[in-house]
Amino acid sequence: MSDGRISVFLDRDGTINEELEYIRDPKDLRLMPGSGQAVLRFNRLGLPVIVISNQSGVARGFLTEGDLIPIHKKLLEELGRDGARVDRIYYCPHHPTSGNSPYNIVCECRKPKPGMLRWGAEELGIDLSRSFVVGDSIVDIQAGQAVGATTVLVLTGHGRSSLQQCKQEGIAPDHVGETLREAAEFITQIIREKHGNNG
């Protein structure tokens, strides 16, 4: 859909909020410094903001899909303190080899597969090839590249080790930024130079 909207897809853990192994309680969710301002910048550009997150802790039995509801409510509340908003939150509860039925399956939504990106494109009329994917993991970059999006690797969370992994595997993000706030500056510049108004 070449006439679709431009959007920003953001990984959750290690990108927007601090990386913890399987956040199970809302009180454990803490935003990275500057995340709220970064999301607000996307909002002011008129870009839909979509969170895409692998949550295999559900498959592994560490938490339930119901447990994710208050965690994501906390995420939205924390971003809201800076006046920022998220348009959609998608998550993949599956794992292909570990965990419990019905979640221990090979799915189309677990990054590096681009299923969550395609959901957003369908629901919000997004042109993935003109959009951006930001995350701290190689799978975020791979998912973005699978749909022709512009990819940004942030060096928070697992970002530094992911950068080395990308180099070893010959995978090149379009941009590497220290933080989500720096990624927002890069995306803002691209939008203004290449696309003008989002429309």
- Domain spans in the chain, listed from the N-terminal domain onward: 8-195
Edge-to-edge strand order for the sheet containing 49-54? Answer: 88-92, 49-54, 8-10, 132-135, 150-154, 175-177
Catalytic residue among 13, 87, 127, 136: 13
Question: Is residue 22 predicted with pLDDT exceeding 70?
Answer: yes
Rounded CA-CA distance 118/101 in Å is 25
What's the CATH class of domain 8-195? alpha beta
Residue 120: name the closest of 83, 73, 87 by CA.
87
Find the length of the chain. Answer: 199
User: Strand pairing partners for 112?
Assistant: none
pLDDT tens digits, residue range 72-130? 999 999 999 999 999 999 999 999 999 889 999 999 999 999 999 999 999 999 999 99
pLDDT, average across residues 173-191 = 97
**Contact residues for 102 (Cβ-Cβ < 8 A; gap 6+):** none
Question: Is residue 193 predicted with pLDDT exceeding 90?
Answer: no
- Catalytic annotation present for 13: yes
Rounded CA-CA distance 193/150 in Å is 14
pTM of the model: 0.95
Question: Is residue 132 predicted with pLDDT exceeding 60?
Answer: yes
Catalytic residue among 3, 11, 25, 82: 11
Alpha carbon distances (Å) from 93 to 21, 49, 108: 15, 20, 11
